[in-house]
Structures are given as C-alpha cells and as structure tokens.
A and B are shown apart, each in its own frame.
Chain A
C-alpha cells in the first residue's frame, strides 16, 4: 500500500524548497507510476514548494541563486508530470505581458517576477528586456492580456515607464489593463504618481498583488 498522496505532495514540496532536483525527479516519477492525478501533484506539491521558496525569499532566508535553483527543481518535476495531465483543468489562466523597459537590460528581477507569477497561475508573455513603451501597449493588445508588468533597475528609465500609461490613456484603453510596476529605483509613491495600479517590492509580492488586482 503506497503512502497517502498528501504525504507525497508534502515530500515534493519539501524537495523543491531543498533545491533537490534528483528527489523531485524520483517523487514525480513515483506520482506518475502510482497513477496520481498529475495536475493535482503539480498544484499541491510542486507549486506549493515554489510558493514556500518565494516566502523564504521575501523573508531574506533565500536569495536569487536559491530561488532560481528551486525553480529549476520545480521545472524538472513539471516536465515529468505535464504529459500525464488528463484534461486541461477548467481554470482559465489570466494573461499578462511582462518586460523590462527600454534603456535597461537588467532582467534578473523581471525573470523572478515572471517565475512567481507563473507559479501563481498566470500565463506570462515575456517581452524581454530593453522594450519600448509603445511595444508594451501593442503586445498587450494583440495578446489580449489583462495585466501589464513593467520593471526597471535604473533611474534612467523611470520616465519611459510613465510613457506606457500615457500611451494607454491616449489610446483610450487605460481601463482595459491593470499596470503593475517594480524594480530597484521605483517606489510606491512613484507608482501612484504615474498612475500605475500597483507597485511591488519583490517577486513574491508582485505575484500576490497581481492575483489581488485580477479579483
């Protein structure tokens, strides 16, 4: 008799937090062999672990290298489990475009936000780095996204973030999107000054805020 699946999920979650890729592989294969629902194993095991890693990151127990290793462990698990998902679970994913504004090629922060938002159930369209304001708007429209996430690490580029909102207003489509901003030099007062819907200090907070904004 195999262990209760809840215990397996807990072990998967722990293995993510421990950055133990090999153990994640073993446990994911065990889940497949035992015929456990793959979607549930991802949702209750792997994603839970990644959420805990995000929590540790917020508490400054984990830093960027650790968070990225947890994500690697999660991804090997997802690769094993994903082909076994029976039906695409009914939950419709909210779409967001994300990128680093023009002038800045630092994308570590953006990649972390993407990671945590995907963990939080969003479908992320990654525009990349050094992206002009107009392209954020154009892609958000064509992708039919509901959320625009803009990041920068440089004071130099803060003006361009305000441009995204100006363009949305000019086109009369400001209300169609929530705009979330973040990055080193940005503060919540800057975010409210330019009329953004939200500001997050770190990746875990961004994911939480995105979920709130979509309610």
Chain B
C-alpha cells in the first residue's frame, strides 16, 4: 500500500487534528534520542563526536531515520545543551552513554547569574544543532525535522542544585519564578532559532516536571505555567509543539487538559486510552515501553504496537528515553508494525 501522506504531512496533520490514513511513528530526539549503538556501529557516524559537529550530526540523524524507520529527524541527541549555555559543566559521555550534567553551576535560585538569551547563538553545539536542522529540513522536505528542547523545570534543575531547587519552589517562590521566567525566555529564544533554521515541530521533554516529584500544586504553579508559556511562544512562530511528561500521572491527571501543546506524550505506565476518554481534546502520543524495546523480543514489541494502534493512539512513539543498547530489530518491529497497519 502506498502512503497517502508524506511523513511530514502526516505528522503535521495529526498535530492539527486533521484526519490521516494511519498514525505516524516517531522518536523526537533530545530526551528521546534514537541514536542507538546498533545504528552508530553500522555506519561509523558516532557519538559523542556527533554532538559537536554538524556534518556528523546530520549524517547520524539521517542514519537513525533510515535504519530505525522512525518517520522524522530528531535533533539534538541529548538534553544538556541548554544547561551548557547557561553555565553548567557537561560530561559528553561515550558511544554508549548519553551526555549528562556533571555539576549544576549554581547552589540556589537566588544565586543564578542571568545571561542574555543570545548567548545561545555563540555556543558551538547550538550552532551545530541549528546547522543540522537547516541541512536536513532543506534536503529532505518530506520528513519532519523535530527540534527537541529540555523543558523549563528540567533546565532550571540542571543549572541549580536540584534538591535546593525543589525546596525553593515552596520556600522561595519569588526567586523560583524569576529563575523559571529566565529559563523559559532562553528556551523560547533557542526554539526560535530552531524554527528559523527550518524545524517543522518543536518537542519539549521535561522529565523533572513529574507529578510524582512536584505534586499537583507545584506542577500547576510551575510546570503547567512555564511549559505553556513556551508552547504559546512556539505557536507564535507558527509551529506545533509536543510536550512529554515522565512518570505516573495520577496526582496531576486533571491538569493535563490545561496544556496548550498539540500533543501530549506520556510514560509507559500511563493509560493513554484513559486520558483520551477523559480528555477527548488531547492528541495522544506514546507509549511503547522502552524496557520492552530493550529487553523484549521483536514479536512482543510488534504485539504491543498493535495494542497501541487498536487503542487509536494518535502518534506512536517510545514511552520515554530509549536505552542506547536497544536492539535495532526491536525498533524496526515497532515502526514496521505501524507502517503496515490498515487505514483507520
């Protein structure tokens, strides 16, 4: 069966709540990076070098799209570049291990030294990311290029000691909101540069902003508010936005309806069917277990993908960050099952 829509048209249509013949299957990059070891070993375009070099980054993003079957490019391959620009020390990791924050630069919210958002433009890795987005979106206009951002809470907790940061959300609201405003402004600037460079969609993952960690009050006061501020600004640039929330959601479930994003992506143990029943306005994304993708058999992966298809999840994707040691056969089983699915 030949496809009715190009992958880009299909994704954009779903994000605009328009009909498609089948759901897209994507992996947006950033926290959900699909540059797995199997892909890098097959092509020789490897991390961590590709975090710094736009040519390598473009090649690796193309390899991921080719070999995994995910119907998008997802840039960057990490969630540390925002914190790097804002001053934290980064460990770029290895082929198998993703980059991580070595040390948060500030002890508390009050001590944060605010930089101008244009500092992003001077960072080499930011420029590698923007050049990659530019190259891929110009060369492959039918494939959606997704620019991935680390969400406001996670970015803030990557530049301020996370334990102090979390306490201060209650104890020092004034400085916490100042910090969140600053971080959100910086992310808006970065998103703007991604869109100027050609990104078709912006995806935001905010793994520290879970209901389990924050609880409903702080989730509403900080996560919902600043994620929406960011999403509204992205909409102002004429581009759709996806939000991914990690963890269990019982404590914050009524709040998911408040997100302004075009799609909501959730973790494996959240029932997307329940969310869709409760909030029919939500465009659902997810949520194939990454544990299954790493340790399961292709057949089991395929069966689980069928379940998601039957439940009419709008966009199929891994439920969380993929392990870099995920076997490529399992990802292919996932993407092929979706692509072979009968029209709805």
List residues of chain A with CB under 8 Å of any chain B CB.
60, 62-66, 68-69, 72, 102-108, 111, 130, 153-156, 158-159, 184-185, 187, 190
Contacts and interface: CB of A to CB of B under 8 A. Distances in A.
Contact of B323 (A60, A106, A155): A155
A65 B162 contact: no
B247 A64 contact: no
Given A111-B163, A184-B246, A154 B218 contact: no
B132 interface: no
Interface in B198-251: 207-208, 212-215, 218, 246-247, 250-251
A192 to B, nearest CB: 14
A98 to B, nearest CB: 15
Contact of B251 (A60, A105, A185): A60
Interface in B18-47: none
B98 A156 contact: yes
B338 interface: no
A68 B167 contact: yes
Interface in B239-298: 246-247, 250-251, 290-291, 294
A156 B213 CA distance: 20
Contacts of A155: 290-291, 294, 320-323
B49 interface: no
B197 interface: no
B100 A105 contact: yes
Interface in B293-311: 294
Contacts of B218: 63, 65
A158 B323 contact: yes
Nearest to B169: A65
B43 to A, nearest CB: 21
B6 interface: no
Contacts of A72: 167
Interface string B317-334: 000111111000000000
A63 B320 contact: no
B213 A108 contact: yes
Given A155-B290, A155-B322, A65 B170 contact: yes
Given A64-B166, A65-B166, A185 B213 contact: no
B52 to A, nearest CB: 20
B212 A63 contact: yes
Nearest to A103: B97
A156 B251 contact: no
A69 B98 contact: no
A156 B100 contact: no
Contacts of B118: none
10 contacts: A63-B212, A63-B213, A63-B218, A64-B213, A69-B171, A108-B208, A130-B100, A155-B323, A156-B321, A185-B291
A35 to B, nearest CB: 33
B101 interface: yes
B215 A63 contact: yes
Contacts of B294: 155, 158
A2 B59 CA distance: 76
A107 B167 CA distance: 15
A184 to B, nearest CB: 7
A24 to B, nearest CB: 15
Contacts of B251: 60, 63
Contacts of B250: 60
B184 to A, nearest CB: 19
Contact of B215 (A66, A111, A187): A66
Nearest to B294: A155
B97 A65 contact: no
B160 to A, nearest CB: 13
Nearest to A102: B97
A202 B166 CA distance: 17
Give the most central of A159, A185, A190: most B CB within 10 Å: A185
Nearest to B97: A103
A68 B157 CA distance: 15
A130 B93 CA distance: 11
Contacts of A156: 97-98, 321-325
A158 B321 CA distance: 13
B247 A184 contact: yes
Contacts of B246: 184
Contacts of A69: 167, 170-171
Interface string B154-190: 0000000011001101110000000000000000000
Give the most central of A63, A155, A187: most B CB within 10 Å: A155
A107 B100 CA distance: 12
A185 B290 contact: yes
Contacts of A68: 163, 166-167
Given A155-B323, A156-B325, 10 more contacts: A63-B251, A66-B215, A72-B167, A102-B97, A104-B100, A108-B162, A130-B91, A158-B294, A184-B247, A187-B291
Given A155-B290, A155-B322, A64 B101 contact: no
* Those 5 A-B pairs whose CB atoms lie nearest each other, nearest first: A63-B215, A105-B100, A156-B323, A155-B290, A68-B167
A117 B322 CA distance: 31
